[in-house]
Amino acid sequence: MMIRSNNLFLNPKKRKRKRKNSTTTAPRKQKIVSKKLELPGPGLIEEEEEKLEEGGFSLKASAQSHSHGVQPLGNLYFNPSSHNSRNTGLGNLQTLTDELVLEILGVLSGTHLGILSTVSRSLYVFCNHEPLWRNLVLENCNGGFLYNGSWKSTYVAAYMPSFSVSDVGFSGLRVRDFYSDYLFQSWLCANLEMKPEWLERDNIQRRRGIPVDEFISNFEEPNKPVLLERCMDNWVAFGKWDRDYMVEICGDVRFSVGPVEMKLEDYFTYSDQAREERPLYLFDPKFGEKVPRLGSDYEVPAYFNEDLFSVLGDERPDYRWIIIGPAGGGSSFHIDPNSTSAWNAVIKGSKKWVLFPPDVVPPGVHPSPDGAEVACPVSIIEWFMNFYGATKKWEKKPIECVCKAGEVIFVPNGWWHLVINLEDSIAITQNFVSRRNLLNVLDFLKKPNANTLVSGTRDRVNLHDKFKNAIESSFPGTIDQLALKAEEKKAEQKKPSFWDSVADSKAGAFKFSF
């Protein structure tokens, strides 16, 4: 039994770069290469774990075997009969890729999926693919949902109450000799633990109690990440923000969870049960307005007090978010919106960070020429399985760390970053503009395609002029001073060194004036 993680899920999927965190679950576009891995039957998780360990992988303690017995395509070559029930159950449709079959099924209603699932064992497996039902729930339950162990049972409970939900859960028909990499991969990614070697590298600079001017000169001005310790010890949130406290003070208030709004208690019900490769994140930019007490339970660290977007008042783009999610949740590679810098404070739990500087595009990530879209692996685990190992040989290695509760990471503008929760986590993040990146932000906002790049505001086209005018009114001469300083710095960098000035470039030797 072998797993070859360097060639899994190679074809990327496009998503908008301007979104700070993507939670959509459109059918995958990538293709995976076969792996010789046997799927366990009921009660054989221990055997499966032993086989995964041969490839350096391990399953989560809560892992269950695939509910319908789907196996990787590589296992077909060990089947003496060479029979794949996937094909026989699809008939003439067997020539279509799994991706295309699911694309077609994705236009059907829940009722039609249920009917079609009775046609053959193969269609039963396809029609019970959980992401299909997840999309149905998220498309129809705008007012939130009450998760019921699986997305299909959640949908049935909400829209077909006459059916017994107990018959719809994880238990179901197990189909023999069904081989499909595509259908297997979601289960695999959802149930794999982070490998220890993915967590070992910790090369970020760490500082505790440094003066603000030292932070500016050593990190913000040179645009370098840093992890700051002990700068949120006095936060009320750090001591009180557990599940019971937050559910109590938030009550029936609804927060943004992907495309829907949910009560916090209902979200925790979901996150406790969810076993999927891309769990939904609670990611709300208006939490402070919805529950003012949450906004007053923390304060911005002194290093980030200057926030020039505040001159726009209520017209400023979204800039702060509360982030709540289970282990495995997170954000795949992106650059923060509007060329802003950011800080992220972990209140509960821990997060793995991987950051690349602006001039280094992460492996497996393909931004469009105008920067409006980014093609990247669908899930974070996929990126670690397929691309992380290659970065060990790079000259410019990524900056990495595990940010724990009580720690704050500074993310400079333009840096690519990926984040994954290592456990149930609660965090606060804010994007900001200071004098150090003001010119970058203004340049970004006046790009010809600003209407596709700018995010967090309704008036994307006029944001540049509004912001520039507000800065000039509130801080007269600041933009001109910063522009002059930038020109002087650029000229200084172009100025030849002493040795350059005395070298005769044509003769390849020194020239002397005496």
Q: What is the pLDDT along the chain (514 residues), one digit of tens a residue?
A: 333 333 333 334 444 444 444 333 333 433 333 333 333 444 444 545 555 555 567 777 766 666 688 988 888 888 888 889 999 999 999 999 999 999 999 999 999 999 999 999 999 999 999 999 999 999 998 778 999 989 999 999 988 877 766 655 445 688 889 999 888 888 888 888 899 999 999 999 999 999 999 999 999 999 999 999 999 999 999 999 999 999 999 999 999 999 999 999 999 999 999 888 889 999 999 999 999 999 999 999 999 999 999 999 999 999 999 999 999 999 999 999 999 999 999 999 999 999 999 999 999 999 888 777 888 867 899 999 989 999 988 989 999 999 999 999 999 999 999 999 999 999 999 999 999 999 999 999 999 888 888 889 888 889 999 999 999 999 999 999 999 999 988 888 776 655 555 555 444 444 433 3
> Which residue has tokens 């008939």?
91
Q: 249: phi > 0 → left, psi -120 to 50 → alpha, else beta; which?
A: alpha
Look up residue 63 and give its two tokens.
Answer: 């892992």
Please give, one letter per residue, the 3-state secondary structure of 430-458: EEECCCCCHHHHHHHHCCCCHHHHCCCCC
Q: C-alpha distances in angstroms, 69 versus 12, 72, 348?
A: 27, 10, 36
pLDDT at 81: 82
Q: What is the CA angle 99-103-104, rounded to 5?
A: 120
Interacting residues of 360 by C-beta distance below 8 A, sequence separation 6+: 394, 396, 398, 416
Contact 302, 343 (CB under 8 A): no
Measure the CA dihedral 311/314/319/324, to 10°.
Answer: 150
- The domain 196-474 having CATH identifier 3.40.50.300: the answer here is no
pLDDT at 112: 96
Number of helices and strands in the chain (H, E): 21, 18
Would you kindly state where each structural domain of the chain is located, as residue ranges? Answer: 67-191, 196-474
Question: What is the value of pTM for the model shown?
Answer: 0.84
At 144, is the secondary structure helix, strand, or coil?
Answer: coil
Give the β-pairing of 341-348 and 425-432.
antiparallel
Q: C-alpha distances in angstroms, 498 versus 176, 295, 314?
A: 76, 55, 52
State how far the Cα of 245 lies from the Cα of 259, in Å rounded to an integer. Answer: 25
